[in-house]
Amino acid sequence: MVEQGLVRAAQSGDRDALITLLREIEGQVYKTAFYILHNEQDALDASQEALIRIYTKIGSYEEKAQFKTWVQRIVTNICIDKFRKTKPTVSIDEHEMVFKDKQNVEREVLSGYLAEDIREAIDQLPEHHRTVIVLRYLQDFSYNEIAESLDLPLNTVKSYLFRARQQLQNRLQEYQKGGVSG
């Protein structure tokens, strides 16, 4: 959680405070970008673009919204723009498995398949459903924070999450029945 005093200092032109602030949020910014884009290079690009935008727009931040929701709105919008411009690709290198001990190999393999199935199911969601799922379950945002971040009515966020969960459940039924894809 970023201190409001640090945000205010950054807004007032304190360069050291601004750099400290950007360092504190860069991990969360990258995490959001990666969850939405599923590509390390695109996530790095989106993160850098978001941090630059935050750097240049910090003066326009108003305390009507929480700082983290303001930041997430910036990151999410940049990722959505990037996602629309490029189709997602998956690198084989990103999915290498390393086993710690031989007794857990089966569990590691099944866990890897489950994670892959979930990622694929999330990737297949419509953009607006995917975004609310990422913010709710991977970034642990409240419904109100999601609504603020995406500039949507609260009931729309609830509806998107409900429909996204239904779609994920339908897509993951094969796995739940004991089948493994991949």
* Exposed / middle / buried, residue 36 (Cβ in 10 Å: 0-12, 13-18, 19+): buried
pLDDT of residue 182: 45
Rounded to the nearest integer, the mean pLDDT of the chain is 80
Q: Tens digit of pLDDT for each residue in 84-127?
A: 676 544 444 444 444 444 445 445 545 555 667 777 788 888 88
Three-state DSSP at 144 gives: helix
Three-state DSSP at 58 gives: helix
Inter-residue contact 90 to 38 (CB < 8 Å) = yes
- Average pLDDT of the segment spanning 131-146: 87
- Give the CB-side neighbour count of residue 53, counting CA atoms within 13 A: 17
> Taken in order 34, 37, 43, 49, is the CA torsion positive or negative?
negative
pLDDT band (50, 70, 90) for residue 137: confident
As a residue count, the chain comes to: 182
pTM of the model: 0.58
- Average pLDDT of the segment spanning 34-40: 85
* Domains of the chain, start order: 4-178 (1.10.10.10)
- The alpha carbon of residue 146 and the mean position of all alpha carbons in its chain are separated, in whole angstroms, by 11
Three-state DSSP at 127 gives: helix
Lowest mean pLDDT among 9-13, 67-71, 176-180: 176-180
